[in-house]
Amino acid sequence: MGAQLRLLPPSLPFRFFAAAAVYHVVLWALLALGADEVPGFVGGPGLPLAALHALTLGVLAMTAIGATLQILTVATGQALRALWPCHLVSWLYIPGVGVLLVGLAINDHLVSAAGLLPVLAALGLFGAITADLLRRAKGLRVPILYIWTALAALAGLALLGFLLVADLGHGILAGWGVDRSAIGLAHMILAVYGFMGMLALGYSQILVPMFALAQAPAFPRNLHIHVALAAALILAVVWALVPLEGLSTGGLIVAAGIGLVGAAAHVAQMVTALRTGMRKRLGLSFVLVRVSWGALVASLVAGPLALMGLLGGQGVTLWGAIALLGWLLTFLLGVLQRIIPFLVAMNASKVGGVPPRLSELAPDMPLLYHAACHAAAVVLVLVGLVADQGWPVRIGASIGVCGGLAYLWFAIAVYRRMHGPRPERGAPPPATGGPGVEAGGETSNGKR
């Protein structure tokens, strides 16, 4: 019941999830349009950069905002002080990202700036709302540490992102004697492993045990893992920003090594939760989640290999694709297809009547289409990068667009079932073993 009291008006988290589902289609469409420029992309304006930020700002950060506003209020038991700041974040961020993408795609600095300012204002406000919730939260010590780390990384990546956009328009960095690629690398590490990475690992501490009906990850082992990952992140950002010939590459490889140990230990804790959980059949969503864990570890092996030049000219782009498409996007799409029906069920039962089963809410056909398209799209993009060819990227991205449309179909169908007609209770459950019954939460330091 406490959880239901903390439910936000459904349109608030869902507008972010809906926008993420739309930008997911935009990501693949931009990648298909700019396919010939993708192999060899190491920054600079154009369609690949716009596609990259349709993914990072339009899908990853967008979902993170919607999920954080809802999950943190339920998990911490703390209410938001007011709803209007959350509405304001959505009015600034959702269209702001669109304008920024256009500016990056056509390399128009004024348009980029017109999009960037509302995006930065929204991210700042989101940071303030989240910090206020974290400050008042009780319990959940380790997940909260992850989210504080993610907020600190968000501040850093936004500042570096601002400098990178300003440099696109005014070439300021060279004038300051600052190496643009060093800023780009630090921005990428802070954004991928800092902001999005820490949020994904932090929320996994809550969501994976919740969906698997398992014990929360063991304390203080999960705290030690967080300390190792945070240390690796700080080391990597410092070495990226201080390009000392030979030394910084060595420093980055050491940081990646520490990160690899931390990430492997995190994945081991998650696998233990799945193995010991009371719910064994977790369906398609956790196939995506498990694949993403493999990609997380692979990205921390590919990174150092790319830095040592052992992955060829495409090394850095390949590393970015494994981390962003293989790990973060796959993880997010796996978890989101559980969160959306879960939230709809919570809201539907709030309006009285028999709470719907999650399996009644989530049509499985679009998810099957999506999973097949997503796998083909990611593999073909990676093949295009390894082969240094644009056409596999174009085919892959076009299949990605189909997968994105299937995911949008799923999201709309579930949302409509919140108020609309649902399949008859007792109708045969879907073939893929949908999400199943509701779950209870546990705190991450082992206390119920």
Residue (233 or 344) nearer to ligand HEM, CB: 233
Smallest distance, ligand HEM to C-beta of residue 115, A: 9
Candidates 69, 70, 111; CA nearest to 89 is 69
Mapping DSSP to helix (H, G, I), strand (E, B) and coil, where does residue 55 land? helix
Q: Write the CA distances from 27 to 51, 56, 177, 203, 297, integer angstroms.
A: 5, 9, 34, 24, 24
Burial of 424 (0-12, 13-18, 19+ CB in 10 A): exposed
Would you say 121 or 368 has its CB closer to ligand HEM?
121
Question: Least separation, in Å, of the C-beta of 1 and ligand HEM?
Answer: 36
Nearest-CB residue to ligand HEM? 43
**Residue nearer to ligand HEM on the CB measure, 75 or 163:** 163
Burial class (CB in 10 A: 0-12, 13-18, 19+), 427: exposed
Length of the chain: 448
Give the residue among 413, 375, 339 at the shortest CA–CA distance from 16.
339
Do the beta carbons of residue 362 and residue 430 sit within 8 Å?
Answer: yes
Closest distance of CB 374 from ligand HEM, Å: 18
For ligand HEM, give the closer residue by CB, 57 or 210: 57
Q: How far is the CB of 57 from ligand HEM (least distance, A)?
A: 5
* Rounded Cα distance, 89 and 29, in Å: 26
Nearest-approach distance from CB 14 to ligand HEM, in angstroms: 21
- Give me the residues that bind ligand HEM (CB under 6 A), please: 43-44, 49, 52-53, 56-57, 60-61, 116, 119-120, 123, 157-158, 161-162, 164-165, 168, 180, 184-185, 187-188, 191-192, 195-196, 320
Q: Which is nearer to ligand HEM, 48 or 392 (CB)?
A: 48
CB 388 within 8 A of CB 40: yes
Comparing CB distances to ligand HEM, the nearer of 168 and 296 is 168
- 389 sits in the region (left: phi over 0; alpha: psi -120 to 50; else beta) called beta
Nearer of residues 56 and 90 to ligand HEM, judged by Cβ: 56
Other beta carbons less than 10 A from residue 38's beta carbon: 28
Q: How far is the CB of 286 from ligand HEM (least distance, A)?
A: 23
The secondary element (H helix, E strand) that includes residue 119 is: helix 109-136
Radius of gyration of the chain (CA): 21
Contact by Cβ (8 Å): 145, 108: no
List of E strands, 224-284: none
Query: Closest approach of Cβ 97 to ligand HEM, in Å?
Result: 9
- Closest approach, Cβ 162 to ligand HEM, in A, equals 6
Tell me whether residue 10 or residue 66 sits nearer to ligand HEM (CB atom).
66
